[in-house]
């Protein structure tokens, strides 16, 4: 199956990054969000990244214009009917995702693959809301999408080998390096990474070390590019909490309990970089 048009649902940090790399790879992209202001914010993020690439000499102005020209924004879900491949990047809420997958199943062409960028929710459960579970797959990008090379491709219970292979190939065409993962809570990478960030929050909460020293420690002692607390702020503490809750509930294992400090920060509306405050303040 030839993919020409990719539908991206959700124009947030992940959705806009995915739209950008898809357009850079030559695909036409239709990016959809619920409100015009969200669509515009996503398009502005792409434009900023492209302007920076031109400034840095990585792209010519005409290349950047061509990439931008391949992305259209919409609030109408029906506009995705012409997409050959859908990448969903909406909030981590299974009820909302299932409602969306049911609608997409009715709107999209029969051969269209529905891929989720979920951080760790069940692909099988999303697929159960459709009549095409063999065409539902996980395609998990990492933040910031234009920079990070990895895509986890996740096989749900009924995902067909053909769907899986197509998604691996699409990830390569988008300039990424895919790894193959069988469905399990949080897949492979977040299963390791997110509990580490959660543990760093415990270390902070217990007063074992300051935020700066925890982060410096992991950068200097384990060669991480940024420390775990800074990474939590980058990913978003709301996302992080939702991801920890998923693995905690799915496994019932107390080792995955979310750190109360993260819960408190989220309740206070301090989600990290995107709200200007998380473990650190960003002014
Ligand atoms: N979009 C596009 N480009 C970006 C970017 C963004 N949001 N953020 C940074 N970059 C680019 C910069 O433009 C810069 O490129 P340039 O040198 O050509 O100008 C380059 O990345 C390096 O950026 P900086 O010099 O500003 O900062 P750093 O050297 O600290 O690099 C980083 C930034 C690449 C984000 C680095 O800190 C890093 O690798 N951090 C770890 C990221 C990580 O672990 N991500 C995974 C999160 S988990 C996840 O996403 C899964 C989810 O399900 C929870």
- Which residue has the CA at smallest separation from atom 16 of ligand 1? 56
pLDDT-flagged residues of the chain (< 50): none
Task: Give 77's DSSP letter.
Answer: G
pLDDT at 41: 97
**Which atom, in ligand 1's list, is nearest to the CA of 189?**
51
Give me ligand 1 centre to Cα 171, in Å: 19
Query: Rounded to two decimals, what is the model's pTM?
Result: 0.95
Give me ligand 1 centre to Cα 35, in Å: 27
Helix (H) / strand (E) element for 153: namely: strand 150-155
Q: How far is CA 87 from the centre of its chain?
A: 10
Q: How far is CA 214 from the centre of its chain?
A: 26
Q: Is 140 a catalytic residue?
A: yes
Give me ligand 1 centre to Cα 144, in Å: 5
pLDDT at 54: 97
Residues contacting residue 125 through CB under 8 Å, at least 6 positions apart: 94, 98
Residue labelled with tokens 């506009």: 79
pLDDT at 1: 79
pLDDT at 283: 85
Residues contacting residue 63 through CB under 8 Å, at least 6 positions apart: none
- C-alpha to C-alpha distance for 99 and 273, rounded to whole angstroms: 30
Helix (H) / strand (E) element for 156: namely: none
- C-alpha to C-alpha distance for 242 and 248, rounded to whole angstroms: 10
- C-alpha to C-alpha distance for 71 and 267, rounded to whole angstroms: 35
CB 242 within 8 A of CB 198: no
Q: Is 49 a catalytic residue?
A: no
Q: Is 190 a catalytic residue?
A: yes
> Which residues have any ligand 1 atom within 6 Å of their CB?
49, 52, 56, 119, 142-144, 146-148, 190, 193, 225-226, 231, 235, 239
Q: How many CB atoms lie within 10 A of CB 181?
A: 17
pLDDT at 168: 98
252 SS3 class: coil
Please give the radius of gyration of the chain, using alpha carbons only, rounded to the nearest integer: 19
- C-alpha to C-alpha distance for 242 and 262, rounded to whole angstroms: 11
């Amino acid at each position: 199956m030839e993919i020409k048009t990719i539908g991206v649902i959700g124009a947030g940090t992940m959705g806009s990054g995915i739209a950008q790399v898809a357009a850079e790879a030559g695909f036409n992209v239709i990016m959809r969000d619920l409100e015009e202001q969200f669509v515009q914010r996503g398009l502005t993020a792409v434009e900023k990244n492209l302007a920076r690439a031109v400034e840095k000499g990585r792209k010519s102005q005409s290349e950047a214009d061509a990439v931008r020209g391949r992305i259209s924004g919409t609030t109408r879900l029906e506009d995705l009917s012409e997409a050959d491949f859908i990448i969903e990047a909406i909030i981590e809420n299974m009820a909302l995702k299932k409602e969306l997958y049911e609608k997409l199943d009715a709107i999209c062409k029969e051969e269209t693959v529905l891929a989720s960028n979920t951080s760790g929710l069940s692909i099988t459960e999303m697929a159960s809301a459709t009549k095409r579970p063999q065409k539902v797959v996980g395609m998990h990008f990492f933040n910031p999408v234009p920079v990070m090379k990895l895509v986890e491709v996740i096989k749900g219970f009924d995902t067909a080998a053909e769907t899986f292979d197509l998604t691996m190939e699409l990830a390569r065409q988008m300039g990424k390096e895919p790894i193959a993962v069988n469905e399990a809570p949080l897949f492979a990478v977040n299963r390791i990474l997110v509990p580490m960030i959660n543990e760093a929050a415990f270390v902070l909460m217990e007063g074992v070390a300051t935020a700066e020293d925890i982060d410096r420690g992991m950068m200097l002692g384990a060669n991480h590019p940024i420390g775990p607390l800074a990474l939590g702020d980058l990913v978003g503490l709301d996302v992080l909490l939702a991801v920890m809750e998923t693995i905690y509930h799915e496994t019932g294992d107390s080792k995955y309990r979310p750190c109360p400090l993260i819960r408190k920060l989220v309740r206070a509306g301090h989600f990290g970089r995107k709200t200007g405050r998380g473990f650190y303040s960003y002014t």
